């Protein structure tokens, strides 16, 4: 289960080293005007149009962006920017030079999460307060790692807006603020497109002033992702596929205290309640019949005056 929260935390910090370095300056210019001695990053080859990701999904690179594949993206995110390794990393979207206003976006990381199928009912009932608490606990461990690497640390993390689940396109929207010391902060907008085996995660890292822009950009990105038949959310097979059991014990903790969740739980368990009522009624009727049978039966009447 700790791997699930480690994944969420990594997504929070993905590309964040780049954001740390870029607070207050144009990260795209810094990226495109790298030191001449940095031959590695200068050799990157970008892709446009339709790109086939390593998991078979097809990404239509949106206008104004360029795509860096998994191999080169790992080099940039992990080796040059100093982020921890992400086994599910698929690539990185970066704005083209001059295509975006200054400081609008640092990058969008694309990764896959194979933690199992998350049903719509579970998605609606997730306890995001508990999720944030768990992520903050793992953030302390992540900061220890970053301290050893000589990297900046995240002093706090909280929701920038209430998390939401969209049933129309089966997406979760998790928007966080990562606090860097007292005066600096970074916006982390993660959109999870639910799939048969887990989720495809698109995580945008930008300045906090770009929240409104990302609220329009990220939902529109769903149209740029094309899942092959067999990986779609509707392709789930309950007889063979893995269920996301990590939500049962952790993310739903305390939901019974929430009135909305409580009544939703009652509606979802109406059959259980009906069966309980039938059983109680049956026991009551049987006890009543049993008491009637135990009443003494008088076969004849004795007149005491005869004595």
Report pLDDT digits (tens) over 79-123.
Answer: 877 778 888 999 999 988 776 655 567 889 999 999 899 999 889
Average pLDDT over residues 277-291: 77
Average pLDDT over residues 217-230: 94
Nearest Cα to Cα of residue 153 among 13, 24, 23 = 13
Q: What is the reported pLDDT for 172?
A: 96
Which structure tokens are listed for 171?
Answer: 């997406």
pLDDT of 37 > 60? The answer is no
Nearest Cα to Cα of residue 236 among 75, 119, 122, 69 = 119
Q: What is the reported pLDDT for 103?
A: 55
Least confident of 181-190, 191-200, 240-249, 253-262: 253-262
Which phi and psi angles does 118 have, rounded to 5°?
-110, 115
Q: What is the reported pLDDT for 78?
A: 84
Q: What is the reported pLDDT for 248?
A: 62
Total residues found in the chain within this entry: 307
Q: What is the reported pLDDT for 9?
A: 52
CA 222 – CA 61 distance, rounded (Å): 12
Q: What is the reported pLDDT for 201?
A: 95
Q: What is the reported pLDDT for 302?
A: 54
Q: What is the reported pLDDT for 262?
A: 39
More confident: 290 or 50: 50
Q: Where exactly are the structural domains of the chain?
A: 2-253, 258-295
More confident: 83 or 169: 169
Q: Which CATH number fits domain 2-253: 3.40.1000.10, 3.30.43.10, 1.20.1560.10, 3.40.190.80?
A: 3.40.1000.10
What is the chain's mean pLDDT, rounded?
A: 78
Beta strand 199-206 with 107-113: parallel, antiparallel or unpaired?
Answer: antiparallel
Q: What is the reported pLDDT for 104?
A: 66
Average pLDDT over residues 38-62: 87
CA 152 – CA 154 distance, rounded (Å): 7
pLDDT band for 182, please (50, 70, 90 cuts): confident
pLDDT of 208 > 80? The answer is yes
Least confident of 46-60, 130-144, 151-165, 192-206: 130-144
More confident: 148 or 18: 148
pLDDT band for 218, please (50, 70, 90 cuts): very high
Proportion of the chain above pLDDT 70, given as a percent: 70
More confident: 275 or 277: 277
What crossing angle do the helices spanning 259-268 and 270-294 adopt, rounded to 10°?
Answer: 70
Q: What is the reported pLDDT for 60?
A: 97
């Amino acid at each position: 289960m700790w791997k699930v929260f480690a994944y969420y935390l990594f997504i929070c910090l993905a590309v964040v080293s780049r954001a740390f370095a870029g607070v207050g300056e144009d990260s795209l210019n810094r990226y495109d005007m790298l030191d001449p001695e940095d031959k590695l990053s200068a050799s990157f080859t970008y892709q446009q149009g339709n790109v086939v990701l390593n998991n078979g999904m097809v990404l239509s690179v949106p206008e104004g962006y360029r795509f860096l594949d998994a191999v080169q993206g790992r080099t940039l995110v992990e080796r040059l920017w100093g982020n921890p390794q992400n086994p599910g990393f698929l690539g990185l979207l970066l704005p083209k030079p001059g295509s975006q206003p200054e400081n609008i976006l640092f990058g969008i990381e694309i990764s896959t999460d194979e933690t199992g199928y998350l049903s719509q009912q579970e998605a609606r009932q997730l306890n995001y307060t508990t999720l944030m608490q768990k992520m903050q606990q793992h953030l302390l461990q992540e900061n220890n790692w970053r301290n050893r690497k000589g990297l900046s640390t995240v002093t706090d993390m909280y929701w920038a807006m209430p998390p939401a689940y969209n049933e129309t396109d089966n997406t979760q929207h998790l928007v966080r603020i990562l606090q860097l010391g007292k005066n600096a902060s970074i916006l982390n907008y993660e959109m999870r497109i639910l799939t048969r085996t887990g989720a495809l995660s698109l995580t945008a890292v930008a300045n906090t002033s770009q929240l409104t822009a990302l609220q329009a950009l990220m939902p529109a990105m769903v149209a740029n992702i094309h899942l092959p038949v067999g990986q779609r959310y509707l392709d789930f097979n309950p007889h063979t596929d893995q269920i996301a059991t990590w939500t049962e014990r952790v993310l739903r903790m305390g939901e019974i205290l929430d009135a909305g969740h409580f009544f939703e739980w009652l509606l979802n368990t109406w059959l259980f309640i009906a069966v309980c009522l039938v059983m109680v009624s049956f026991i009551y009727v049987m006890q009543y019949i049993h008491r009637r049978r135990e009443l003494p039966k008088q076969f004849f009447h004795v007149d005491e005056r005869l004595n």
